[in-house]
Amino acid sequence: MTPAGHRTIPVDPATAVLLTPLPIHDVTLRGFWGERQRLNRDKVIPHCDEWLERAGWVGNLRAAVDGTLATNRVGRLFTDSEIYKIMEAMAWEVAREPSPRFEARLAELSRLLTEAQAADGYLNSFYDYPGGPERYSDLEWGHELYCAGHLIQAAVARLRAGHDDALVAVARAAADHICREFGADGRDGICGHPEIETALVELYRATGERRYLDQASRFVERRGNRTLGDTMYGGRDYYQDDVCIRDAPVLVGHAVRALYLTAGAIDVAVETGDQALLEHLAAQFDRTVERRTYLTGGMGSHHHGESYGEDFELPADRAYAETCAGVASVMVAWRLLLATGEPRYADIIERTLYNIVATAPSDNGDAFHYVNTLHRRSMSVLPDPNHPSLRRTDGMRAAWFTTSCCPTNIARTLASLGGYLATVDGRGLQVHQYVDGEIQATLPDGRGVGISLETAYPLDGMVRLRVTQSDGEPWALSLRVPGWTEKATLRYGATTHQLAPGTATVTEAWQVGDELTLDLGMTPRWVRPDPRIDAVRGCAALERGPLVYCLESADQHEVDLNLVEVDTSAPFAVREPDDLPGSLAIIVSGTVRDEATGGWPYLPSQTGRPARQVKLTYVPYHRWGNRGPSAMRVWTPAVGGP
């Protein structure tokens, strides 16, 4: 259990917000997400840790201790950050469930960091050694503060689990160095890759030391003053330094940078009581979701710069939708949910969790998507499993990348996932994501409440809730009704209620054993794009519950997916595929046209080209690519239906 006085929780506002998150100990996961947490613990984290050694990135720290960085350093300039993210993942895991293996590894790495750290608190294996680059000589691309931010995040995880140990001492020394170096009397600079902002606020929350919050606020306010140099990736908006964050109407530039900055700015706004900034950030993110986000929740439509496009510039076959951007989007939406209570933020979290976060790791936990395209025209390419991959867009998950930010981000997210699912307020308990498992919580007045959830979600939309702890006094149980559902019902006692999307709240003097049944319905549904999304106009995509579906060539070997049309007026058939256990496939009717024999591809009409009827098998998007090289598409030209 968590030691007294500590809340093992990834986001823990010190200032009162509308909803209070729960420690990861208060949520037990089984089913879909429980299986992925076990996979993360047993395979993903050890796999990443092995590659950190294999690629030589931990060796960089040893070289820093030995004084051999000039000849022995390998990898890109931000490799330290991946070590810190795996340390954070281990810290959450041992807080959730003891692990002597992870504890020993954390101690080993912490000793190494202690030895590598400079006397003034500076720590980075790419800079500040004889013959190497000078520290803070390249704020645009150097990632020094970004790396320090991830170090601090790992230490916050340890602190919140009650361990004030060597890792915490290293991180606090690094944070104090940054406050001196970039404080009111120091460098008037910012990092080209935001992350330090959120880290410093969380360290303030964990320690109560105001200087960390003040420094985070300085970094946020310095954005947009054009202090960073210009870049070929769309100018200074690439790293959000072209316009003050209070003036920018929508997220621009590198998607991960923009989202990390937004998360940090929300944290600053909450802790400083800056309601105007908070409202602006919410509007900024809302516009981004409404105009610059893929059906899967993915963000980033430009390969050049891993960045946002213009409004409605969302080409399926050029979707970048980096896994890290999905993680960062969840971070932003969760903070806005806590601050506003608006269920639409839980909706985007659900969409992104099931269709980006769950898509990234392979079923075996030993390979990962960096990019999450929505259309793979040709067969994906198998990467070399023995070397870090340079290629992120080949359609197959790779064991490791030369830039491996995504696998480690997935590891720390899954390890701390229990802290993103439910909240409490003065009225009672709120359930935002549906999992098979248990929730125990303490209300602000000190009363303990608890529920169990029994569900096969997302295979099934039926969620049975049972009260497991209550003192018999009234409290409110609030359930999110997803925006995608059309026929949701809630039954408790002898009454069944029809529910509209939003929030359903029942206030009762609950007794242990009281039950409710939420039925969200899981009828497959076709969705159409906004006509301003020119790249997929005239197409349809298939969804069922929170899952986006796709066509994969593994299920239709004789069909060129580039030549199919779906009939959205035809009935569906649903079955469990033999080679994707635990999923449901949806069978639809469609046609495939004969391939043109050659010649000019632009004709007055294509209607004369022969077509034949076919049955098309859709599978959950998060499972694609697990059966070997494949072509794939989410959006398909459509006939029939509305």
Cross-strand bridge partners of residue 30 = 436
Tens digits of residue pLDDT in 354-408: 999 999 999 999 999 999 999 999 999 999 989 999 888 888 999 999 999 999 9
The mean per-residue pLDDT over the stretch 580-585 comes to 95
* pTM, 2 dp: 0.97
- DSSP conformational letter for 22: P
* Furthest CA-CA distance within the chain: 77
Produce one character per residue of 55-78: b if its CB has 16 or more CB atoms within 10 Å, e if not.
bbbbbbbbbbbeeebeeebebbbb
**Burial degree of 570 (CB within 10 A; 0-12, 13-18, 19+):** middle
Cross-strand bridge partners of residue 455 = 463
Tens digits of residue pLDDT in 81-128: 999 999 999 999 999 999 999 999 999 999 999 999 999 999 999 999
Question: Is residue 641 over pLDDT 80?
Answer: no
Domain assignments of the chain as residue spans, ordered by start: 20-420, 422-519, 529-639
DSSP reduced 3-state for 118: coil
Residues 6+ apart with CB under 8 A from 209: 203
d(CA 570, CA 582): 25
Q: At what angle do helices 405-415 and 45-54 cross, to 10 degrees?
A: 150
Tens digits of residue pLDDT in 178-225: 999 999 999 999 999 999 999 999 999 999 999 999 999 999 999 999
Tens digits of residue pLDDT in 484-503: 999 999 999 889 999 999 99
Q: Give the tokens for residue 426.
A: 């003065």
The mean per-residue pLDDT over the stretch 282-294 comes to 98
Tens digits of residue pLDDT in 31-65: 999 999 999 999 999 999 999 999 999 999 999 99
Tens digits of residue pLDDT in 609-621: 778 999 999 999 9
Question: Is residue 6 over pLDDT 80?
Answer: no
pLDDT at 391: 86
What confidence tier does 607 reach under pLDDT thresholds 50, 70, 90?
low
Residues 6+ apart with CB under 8 A from 564: 551, 590, 591, 592, 614, 616, 636, 637
Question: Is residue 150 over pLDDT 80?
Answer: yes
The mean per-residue pLDDT over the stretch 469-492 comes to 96
pLDDT at 53: 98
The mean per-residue pLDDT over the stretch 6-26 comes to 93
Cis ω on the peptide bond leading into residue 458 (within 30° of 0)?
yes
d(CA 128, CA 212): 24
What confidence tier does 2 reach under pLDDT thresholds 50, 70, 90?
very low
- DSSP conformational letter for 302: B
CA distances from 251 to 195, 239, 243, 291, 398 (A): 16, 11, 11, 10, 29
The answer to whether the CB of 97 falls within 8 A of the CB of 28 is no
d(CA 105, CA 119): 24
d(CA 96, CA 359): 23
**Tokens 């960045």 sit at which residue?**
307
pLDDT at 608: 61
Q: For domain 20-420, which architecture applies? A: Alpha/alpha barrel (1.50)
d(CA 534, CA 531): 6
Q: Give the tokens for residue 414.
A: 């899954």
On average, the pLDDT of the chain sits at: 95
pLDDT at 359: 98
What confidence tier does 15 reach under pLDDT thresholds 50, 70, 90?
very high
pLDDT at 605: 73
CATH of segment(s) 422-519: 2.60.40
- DSSP conformational letter for 402: S
CATH topology of 20-420 equal to that of 422-519?
no
Produce one character per residue of 252-267: b if its CB has 16 or more CB atoms within 10 Å, e if not.
bbbbbbbbbbbbbbbb
